[in-house]
Amino acid sequence: MTLRKRGVGMRIFSAAVLLLVGFFAFFPFYIMFKSSFETSAEILGHPFTLLPEDGFKWVNYVTIFSQYPILRWLTNSFFVSFVVILGNLVFSTCAAYALARLEFKGRNLIFVAVISMLILPIQVLVVPLYLVVSQFGWTNNLIALIAPNLVSPFAIFLLRQAFISIPKELDQAAVIDGCSRLGVLVRIIVPNALPSLATVMVIKFMWTWGDFMWPSLVLTSSQLKTLPVGIATFAVSPSLTMWDLVITASVIGALPILILFFVLQQYFVRGLMQGAVKG
């Protein structure tokens, strides 16, 4: 820790700047929450008020749940995120274990490939990936969102680093006690790498939950949309935006990830720093 001595003036200045920048970060969220309780006319009306003019009205939430398939979009988003996380916990863990502990031909090659894919953004792959998925006949099917994400270079990389730091003696002791390779993975490696697994879970959830470009390309049916894609359809042409509904849908889309973030912050912070390339 860098404990540099500072005068009172400097400390007040620092606090003021942090407060100001923090306000810059937070204010848009406040406007989002506040606007979700207002009518379209009030949201952009004059004069600007810090609180909804006629108190907090839930009418936007009622409208959006009763007249739009937002529940369906939420379900799709949760379903896709759940399967993707599950897939990564199984497949990425297995791959990371093999890369960290087993000797086999092509191991280094696979590891180098994983590293190089880590830096490859989805934006570069999206065109050919679309063609591959349409060859499989998966367009307009949730499997198009799930299959390519069941394994992620980020998860393999992060888990491999975590597995390597577990002492090999633990494995050897377990093998002597009659444990198989899979037994070592389940009984020794996984229990010792729980924080990293949690990091993979929250970061994968964040990415899958917020993913837009890819789902917006492959999904066309309204019933199959994930939440970000569904929300974006409200906002198609800027001049006709139904702000009351869009902003309410945004609150609904932001809340699950924000709550998860508040609860599991340490895992987010670790994951954000390690997966910064993808962010």
Partner 1 sequence: MLVLPAVVILGTFFFYPMIYALVLSFFSWNLLGAKTFVGFANYAFLFSDPEFRRALWNTVYFTVFNLAGTFVLSLGVALLVTRESWGYRIFRTVSLMPLVIPMVITGIIWGLLLEPTGVINVVLDLVGIEGKEWLYNSKWAMPAIILVSIWHSFGLYILLFVAGLQTIPDELYEAASIDGAGRWKSFRHITLPMLKPTTFFVLTLLLINSFKAFDTIWVMTQGGPGNSTTTLVVYMYQKIFTSVGDATAASIVLFLIIFVLVLFQYSLMGREEKYS
Query: Interaction with partner 1 in 214-243: which residues (CB under 8 A)?
Result: 217, 227-229, 231-232, 235, 238, 241, 243
Q: Which of 9, 67, 131, 178 binds partner 1 (CB under 8 A)?
A: 131
Q: Count other C-beta atoms under 10 Å from residue 244's C-beta.
A: 24
Binders of partner 1 among residues 80 to 99 (CB under 8 A) are: 90-92, 94-95, 97-99
Q: Can residue 167 be called a binding residue for partner 1 (CB under 8 A)?
A: no
How many angstroms separate the Cα of 53 from the Cα of each of 43, 48, 238, 278?
10, 9, 25, 41
Q: Which of 192, 262, 263, 267 binds partner 1 (CB under 8 A)?
A: 262
Binders of partner 1 among residues 2 to 31 (CB under 8 A) are: 2-4, 6, 13-15, 17-18, 21-22, 24-29, 31
Cis peptide, bond prior to residue 238, ω within 30 of zero: no
Helices (H), 36-142: 40-43, 59-67, 70-87, 93-101, 107-118, 122-135
Q: Can residue 206 be called a binding residue for partner 1 (CB under 8 A)?
A: yes
Do 203 and 154 form a contact (C-beta atoms < 8 A)?
yes
Q: Can residue 166 be called a binding residue for partner 1 (CB under 8 A)?
A: no
Query: Cβ closer to partner 1: 192 or 241?
Result: 241
Instruction: Quote the CA–CA distance of 15 and 205 in Å, as a whole number.
Output: 33
As a whole number of angstroms, the longest Cα–Cα distance in the chain is: 76
**Strand locations in 172-239, DSSP E?**
none
Smallest separation (angstroms) from partner 1 to the CB of 120: 7
Smallest separation (angstroms) from partner 1 to the CB of 180: 12
Q: Which stretch binds partner 1 (CB under 8 A): 65-73, 118-126, 161-169, 172-180?
A: 118-126
Contacts of 193 (CB under 8 A, 6+ apart): 159, 162, 163, 166
Smallest separation (angstroms) from partner 1 to the CB of 28: 5
Q: Which stretch binds partner 1 (CB under 8 A): 51-59, 67-75, 186-194, 268-276?
A: 268-276
Query: Cβ closer to partner 1: 44 or 62?
Result: 44
Binders of partner 1 among residues 40 to 79 (CB under 8 A) are: 43-46, 48
Cα torsion 149, 151, 157, 162: sign: positive
- For partner 1 (CB under 8 A), the number of binding residues is 92
